[in-house]
Amino acid sequence: MKTLFDKIWDAHIVHSEPEKPALLYVDLHLVHEVTSPQAFEGLRLAGRQVRRPNLTYATVDHAIPTKNRNLPFADPIAAKQVETLRQNCKEFGVPFFDLDRIEQGIVHVFGPEQGLTRPGMTIVCGDSHTATHGAFGSLAFGIGTSEVEHVLATQTLPQTKAKNFLINVEGELPFGVTAKDVILAIINRVGTAGGTGYVIEYGGSAIRSLSMEGRMTVCNMSIEAGARAGLIGPDESTYEYLRGRNLSPKGDDWVKAVEYWRTLPSDTGAAFDRTVAIDANELSPFVTWGTSPEMSVTISDRVPDPAAIGDDNKRRSYERALEYMGLEPDRNIESINIDRVFIGSCTNSRIEDLREAAKVVQGYKISGSVNAMVVPGSMQIKRQAEAEGLAAIFQDAGFEWRDAGCSMCLAMNDDVLADGERCASTSNRNFEGRQGRGGRTHLVSPSMAAAAAIVGHFVDIRDWKFKEI
Amino acid sequence: MDKFVTHTGKAVALDLANIDTDQIIPKQFLKRIERTGYGEFLFYDWRFTPGGELIEDFVLNRPESVGVSVLIAGENFGCGSSREHAPWSLLDYGFRVIIAPSFADIFYNNSLKTGLLPVRLSSDDTAILTQRANSLPDHEIRVDLEASRISDNKGFSANFEINEFRKYCLLNGLDDIGLSLQYESSISAYEQSSRQNQAFLAFSS
Ligand code: SF4
């Protein structure tokens, strides 16, 4: 009896011997501008080729502006990085979704959208949120630049097998509780290092009930729980999502593919090294209050008091986080005013996220003291949202409507928080300075971020007055 | 990658848990297309004011920290992104060894591939070395990779664990790609058989 992870692992071993990492075959390698230039340069220096350019897909997302992409970049260093990737893709024959392509978007958004991401695959990318693709039942994990070069040159990676960790979320998610809240609750429970050394499989009826978008949100933040990869067994929702996508198998191939995918889910009774159970019925919307994704409480809670913490290290880190965040102990979460709202990132920038946020925003205007923006995950999503009328809802309410990219998730472009600014963000990291030096990030779901934009402080989405127009 | 056999050097302690990659090397410095030159941006927001002035009482900026090559930190060091710029910046700054009770997976892996040695020690041992690095001006740490042993000039000594294969690569400065290419025929055979058995999975465009 095997887990999904065991099955994928076994099917991809190219070579193995005792005491050494196994050599694992890589089915799909996604590439972006920030972690690849040194890898291509390494290939050139060694006189090597990209072994399988047709299993490699590149795009630009991290450093690009999300406003006026047709103008020359304001930042010449970012421009050079993008141009370097463009040239590298040309030289090595790698398919490249450039700024003028509808497929362009955040690496973890365009892969699934184009039908590249599928069950049973091994997928790597020089980016820690590669686990997103695990939502399709693939083994997907982030790698460093040396490993990017290794995969380009050999289409394989030496890997030591991680352990199996099952997180079961059983029950029905209450109204207003989303996939983002599920993963924030999980991180809160296991801690940011709780998954170190493991591949997490998310299971249970609450996970099964999530859409593919929701599953991607959950798997996306596996790294925030310390795990390099997180995955979910494929099922009808998975196949339904993939059917008819641009690069998905077609006709007879489709039938054979689904038949194969059905063999992948973990066998009943397969052994996991660790298991955690979470009761979905008990979950509430979450808000992070600190500088680590595990520092979170529910919307009806208060900021914790470090004085009540026995462990010295933990108390110090809580004190430091509160100081950085400019918050006092016992503060009511709903009373925290915000300056900025960011709806975007590979965690929450897909069409369903935008629909959820638009439902909240519909018929309202954003608070006069808030500056808010929506950054779709791909140009395809942007166009779809415009066609569905979502863009108009956001713009009428006062949101900026941007082009696709990572944007203020990591603030490598000019979308940056000013010192002391407080942001409700749908992204995945609230580290010190993540969205700009001195910037204060609170991680929330798209609907919670949208509601905060309207009223200027956090509110409980479960009490929201939705306006149907 | 440079070989790592033994190293002796002065240590500095950053006694914080969960030091993340955004602190080690903030994103605005990730736009370079080279592997080198990141040292000056290491821990940038902690070392410099927003105006670019040195923050003098930050531990790395103190006069006694000149020439340090061993960093001691709290648990889960290097959590966050996969940026190899993190080990590159530590190496470029002059660090060869990082000691912590635990490391984030990707950072740990990346370090080994760049010739930076991450050493896991128990929290108690880390605390001893932190205390000594903070208080003894002539304190020095010595790492012997072959023996998987870490010691200091004040009588401390402990073994650490490291995967034997990774140790072998570090000791010999071996490049992974060259090693993997020795299995070229296995890679080709794998590709042939998977292409035959699973042709239905090809990207159809
Ligand atoms: S959106 Fe944020 S987390 Fe996702 S790939 Fe971009 S920078 Fe990384």
A23-62 pLDDT per residue, tens:
999 999 999 999 999 999 999 999 999 999 999 999 999 9
Which residues touch B197 (CB under 8 Å, ≥6 apart)?
none
Tens digit of pLDDT for each residue in B158-168?
999 999 999 99
User: B179 in contact with A at a CB cutoff of 8 Å?
Assistant: yes
The pTM of the full predicted model, rounded to 2 decimals, is 0.95
Ligand 1 touching residue A129 (CB < 6 A): yes
How is residue A328 written in tokens?
Answer: 């006092």
Provide the 3-class DSSP secondary structure of residue B4.
coil
CB within 8 Å: A81 and B33: yes
Rounded to a whole number of angstroms, the distance from the CA of A357 to the nearest CA of chain B is 27
Atom of ligand 1 nearest to the CA of A409: 2
Pairing of strands A56-59, A28-31: parallel
Rounded to a whole number of angstroms, the distance from the CA of B10 to the nearest CA of chain A is 25
Specify the pLDDT at position B205.
56
Tens digit of pLDDT for each residue in B53-62?
999 999 999 9
How is residue A182 written in tokens?
Answer: 């599920």
Domain assignments of chain B as residue spans, ordered by start: 6-174, 178-205
Q: How far does residue A243's CA lie from ligand 1's centre (Å)?
A: 26
Tens digit of pLDDT for each residue in A119-166?
999 999 999 999 999 999 999 999 999 999 999 999 999 999 999 999
Model confidence at B132, pLDDT cuts 50, 70, 90, reads very high
CB within 8 Å: B31 and A48: no
DSSP B138: T
Task: Give dist(CA A62, CA A336) in Å, integer.
Answer: 30
Residue nearest to ligand 1 atom 2, measured at CA: A409
Q: How far does residue A203's CA lie from ligand 1's centre (Å)?
A: 25
Average pLDDT, chain A: 97
Provide the 3-class DSSP secondary structure of residue A411.
coil
Which residues touch A236 (CB under 8 Å, ≥6 apart)?
none
Q: Where do the H-state alpha helices sit in B12-101?
A: 21-24, 44-47, 85-93
Mutate to test the pocket of ligand 1, among A81, A107, A125, A127 (most ligand atoms within 8 A of CB): A127
Stated as kind and residue range, the H or E segment containing B127 is: helix B123-135
Task: Give dist(CA B91, CA B69) in Å, integer.
Answer: 9
Task: Give dist(CA A255, CA A168) in Å, integer.
Answer: 30
Pairing of strands A163-170, A198-203: parallel
Model confidence at A72, pLDDT cuts 50, 70, 90, reads confident
Is the pLDDT confidence value at A289 over 90?
yes
For residues A284-308, average pLDDT: 97
Q: Which of B180, B182, B193 to mutate to test the interface with A (most CBs of A within 10 A)?
A: B180
* Residues A458/A372, Cβ–Cβ less than 8 Å: no
Q: Which residues of B touch A41 (CB under 8 A)?
A: 33-35
* Residues A340/A370, Cβ–Cβ less than 8 Å: yes
* Residues A354/A374, Cβ–Cβ less than 8 Å: yes
Specify the pLDDT at position B89.
97
Number of inter-chain CB pairs under 8 A, A vs B: 191
Tens digit of pLDDT for each residue in B28-78?
999 989 999 999 999 999 999 999 999 999 999 999 999 999 999 999 999
Nearest CA in chain B to A416: B28
Model confidence at B169, pLDDT cuts 50, 70, 90, reads very high
Q: Which of A64, A130, A146, A320 to mutate to test the interface with B (most CBs of B within 10 A)?
A: A146
Options 1.10.1740.110, 3.40.50.2000, 3.20.19.10, 3.40.190.10; CATH of B6-174:
3.20.19.10
Q: Which has the closest alpha carbon to A440: A455, A458, A459, A418?
A: A418
Q: Within 10 A of A220 (CB to CB), how many other CB atoms are there?
A: 28
Q: How far does residue A113's CA lie from ligand 1's centre (Å)?
A: 16
List, as ranges, residues 122-141 from B with C-beta within 8 Å of A: none
User: B174 in contact with A at a CB cutoff of 8 Å?
Assistant: no
